[in-house]
């Protein structure tokens, strides 16, 4: 039985459950108007003493916190009493709570798994959140082809075959695949490339592929190579090494020196792989090792992946967490979320003793359908491995803090150069790209305290058909109209002196500092850099005046210097004379970086659009012609050009083309 915080009195009537994704949450009417601890206390008497998950929400319906409990009533009662919850973080969270929802589970293990799923999906502000949670790459040894191939793979495992991983990054996968090519000569080409070969490709010539496509190796011998690859990827590398050594010796005894040389080269490649694994554990075959380090109010969690006794790379994470959390709490929350959508190894080693190690091990065992161990090693090689991973976490966080400090200095430099009221937290840079007015695009890149925020980049396909081709002013107007009209619609008007009117920003508990450490930048820019001079700046100001934003956002035009020399840029600001910066000014270098990134993004977007237009088929412009009918027409006539010359009677001979459609196609090409 689950309740919600929308209850007027202790005997409030029940409502039908509401479906939230795949979870059933039960709601009741909220007529009490209570908030915070008073609201939470109003719930305690109606909650069951069962395991479950709770959500705390604010007046806007945003989820503030997701938690799990072995006993929902006791857990929520602690919030109402203020017991066991120190620090301003929890106090703020309780004060902002205007609604709660609950769901019961059969066991605490189920509650832990559900909590991790909800945190990753809802990203509550007061939970520990994983940032940069991109999928990990795998190696796929395909199983749906007569000659299996090796491929780098991400995403859902829809293709038949064997998957090996995860690897920390694409670079680790590429290194491993290259090594496997040298050792086992497995193909890496696409199936279509394989099907159209009439002679071996270059990879066969440089001894990276056995060339099963042209029969250079028999099906039986290639199958043996595939088996050896599987053995290597499942940890039997020493057996393979011994097998190669014996075959090399046998070939040498038989005076077959050419074959012996082949096995010699493969042995050398195998030894090279084994000697370049970095950390080479002797007692750890399959494990993920987590280490956490805290410094300067930030956390870093370093993960090393070991599979089949080999080091398959490492990755550093910088989770978003309040300073009131200790390292063990952050590590506990991180690991429980990390495996929500990833395969679980047999062993998880930690740098800290966490309070819920047994519960986490049980939950991961349920997920993996086999026993999983989770603990902090106390001695031996495993402890040494954890120390090494922790050292990497400390070094990674040190680099991160140094970069952040440098970025802060650069932002402060921009504040001084452009005489801004505050250090900019969000900088937007705009550029256009086109060729003689064709495939025109506008681009926006965003930078903040942690560098470029690529998930905030935006592109604008220029849609105004009335613009004169190459009209840079007109394109700037369209881009800024669309961008800032949408900002007004989604986030309301902007005060000229203070973008954030939330009074909680100025609390003495450093909530403002905390908000700046999150992975979300403020929606409104503090500074806008425009690629261009006085003309572009004037065009942009005209748009801002029409939107009622003139003077509310700092605008700067960045014009290239004489002969487009870097370092001689001129800066244009409303109400000020144009000026330049000293050649070696760090702020100038920073502005050049920002402008170059905008230029790179704009050029890349333009090229992608131009390439798409180049590949566009005239048949795509005809309504009623989908992929199947288009394929049939091209198979019949050979090309769109030949289709354009065909008569109506000839078009009607194509399967699926009626007389009306044939006339439609004929008329389209005649008009063109």
Q: What is the pLDDT of residues 532-569, one digit of tens each?
A: 889 999 999 999 999 989 888 999 999 887 665 666 78
For residues 75 and 54, the answer to whether their CB atoms sit within 8 Å is: yes
Distance CA 437, CA 441 (A): 9
For residue 336, what pLDDT is reported?
Answer: 86
Q: Which helix (H) or strand (E) holds 95?
A: helix 88-96
Domains of the chain: 17-122 (3.40.1440.10), 287-399 (3.30.420.340), 418-612 (3.30.420.340), 618-671 (1.10.150.20)
Paired sense of beta strands 438-448 and 427-435, if any: antiparallel
For residues 350 and 374, the answer to whether their CB atoms sit within 8 Å is: yes
* DSSP state letter for 615: T
Within 8 A by CB and 6+ apart from 129, the residues are 119, 123, 319, 320, 321, 519
Q: Is the peptide bond before 137 cis (omega within 30 degrees of 0)?
A: no
Paired sense of beta strands 554-559 and 527-531, if any: parallel
39 burial level (CB within 10 Å; 0-12, 13-18, 19+): buried
Residue 21 three-state SS: coil
Neighbours of 242 (CB within 10 A): 11
Distance CA 168, CA 136 (A): 6
- Residue written as token pair 């107007």: 477
Instruction: Read off the pTM.
Output: 0.63
Q: What's the distance, CA 429 to chain centroid? A: 22
Residues of the chain with pLDDT below 50 are 1-22, 24, 26-31, 276-278, 496-518
Distance CA 270, CA 606 (A): 44
Distance CA 51, CA 56 (A): 17
Radius of gyration of the chain from its Cα atoms, rounded to whole angstroms: 31
Paired sense of beta strands 63-69 and 52-57, if any: antiparallel
Q: Give me the numbers of helices (H) and strands (E) for the chain, helices first please.
A: 21, 20
For residue 182, what pLDDT is reported?
Answer: 81
- Torsion angle of C-alpha atoms 205, 209, 215, 219, degrees rounded to 10: 160
């Amino acid at each position: 039985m689950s309740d919600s915080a929308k209850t007027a009195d202790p005997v409030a009537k029940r409502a039908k459950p509401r479906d939230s994704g795949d979870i059933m949450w039960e709601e009741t009417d909220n007529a009490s108007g209570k908030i915070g601890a008073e609201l939470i206390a109003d719930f305690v008497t109606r909650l069951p003493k069962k395991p479950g998950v709770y959500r705390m929400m604010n007046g806007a319906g945003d989820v503030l916190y997701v938690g799990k409990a072995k006993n929902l009533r006791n857990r929520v009662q602690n919030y109402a009493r203020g017991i066991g919850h120190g620090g301003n973080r929890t106090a703020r969270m309780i004060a902002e709570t205007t609604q709660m929802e609950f769901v019961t589970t059969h066991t605490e293990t189920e509650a832990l798994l559900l909590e991790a799923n909800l945190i990753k999906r809802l990203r509550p502000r007061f939970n520990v959140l994983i940032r940069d949670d991109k999928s990990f790459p795998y190696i796929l040894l395909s199983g749906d082809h007569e000659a299996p191939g090796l491929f780098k793979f991400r995403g859902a495992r829809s293709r038949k075959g064997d998957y090996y991983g995860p690897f920390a990054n694409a670079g680790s996968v590429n290194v491993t695949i290259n090594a496997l090519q040298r050792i086992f000569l497995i193909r890496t080409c696409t199936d279509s490339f394989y099907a159209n070969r009439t002679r071996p490709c270059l990879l066969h010539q440089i001894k990276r592929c056995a060339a099963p496509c042209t029969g250079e190796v028999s099906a039986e011998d290639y199958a043996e190579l595939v088996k050896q690859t599987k053995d290597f990827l499942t940890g039997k590398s020493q057996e393979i090494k011994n097998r190669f050594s014996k075959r090399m010796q046998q070939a040498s005894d038989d005076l077959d020196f050419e074959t012996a040389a082949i096995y010699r080269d493969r042995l050398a490649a195998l030894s090279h792989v084994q000697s370049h694994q970095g950390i080479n554990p002797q007692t750890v075959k399959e494990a993920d090792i987590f280490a956490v380090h805290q410094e300067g109010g930030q956390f870093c969690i370093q993960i090393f992946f070991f599979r089949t006794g080999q080091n398959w790379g490492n990755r550093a994470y910088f989770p978003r967490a309040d300073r009131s959390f200790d390292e063990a709490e952050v590590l506990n929350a991180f690991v429980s979320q990390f495996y929500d959508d990833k395969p679980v190894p047999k062993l998880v080693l930690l740098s800290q003793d966490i309070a819920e190690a047994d519960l986490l091990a049980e939950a991961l065992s349920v997920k993996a359908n086999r026993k999983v161990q989770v603990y902090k090693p106390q001695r031996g090689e495993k402890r040494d491995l954890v120390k090494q991973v922790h050292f990497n976490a400390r070094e990674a966080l040190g680099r991160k803090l140094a970069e952040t400090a440098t970025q802060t200095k650069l932002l402060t430099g921009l504040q001084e150069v452009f005489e801004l009221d505050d250090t900019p937290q969000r900088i937007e840079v705009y550029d256009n790209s086109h060729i003689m007015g064709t495939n025109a695009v506008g681009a926006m890149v965003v930078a903040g305290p942690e560098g470029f925020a690529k998930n905030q980049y935006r592109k604008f396909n220029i849609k105004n058909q009335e613009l004169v081709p190459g009209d840079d002013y007109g394109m700037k107007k369209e881009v800024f109209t669309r961008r800032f009209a949408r900002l007004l619609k989604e986030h309301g008007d902007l005060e000229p002196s203070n973008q954030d009117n939330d009074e909680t920003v100025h609390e003495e508990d450093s909530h403002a500092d905390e908000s700046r450490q999150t992975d979300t930048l403020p929606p409104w820019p503090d500074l806008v850099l425009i690629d261009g001079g006085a003309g572009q700046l004037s065009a942009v100001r005209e748009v801002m005046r029409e939107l009622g934003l003139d003077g509310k956002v700092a605008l700067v035009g960045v014009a290239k210097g004489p002969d487009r020399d870097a370092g001689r840029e001129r800066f244009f600001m409303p109400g000020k004379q144009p000026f330049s910066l000293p050649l070696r000014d760090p702020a100038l270098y920073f502005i050049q970086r920002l402008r170059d990134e905008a230029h790179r993004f704009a050029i890349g977007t333009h090229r992608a659009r131009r390439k798409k237009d180049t590949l566009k088929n005239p048949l795509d412009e005809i309504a009623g012609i989908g992929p199947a009918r288009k394929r049939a027409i091209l198979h019949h006539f050979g090309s769109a050009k030949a289709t354009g010359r065909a008569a109506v009677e000839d078009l009607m001979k194509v399967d699926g083309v009626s007389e009306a459609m044939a006339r439609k196609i004929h008329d389209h090409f005649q008009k063109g």
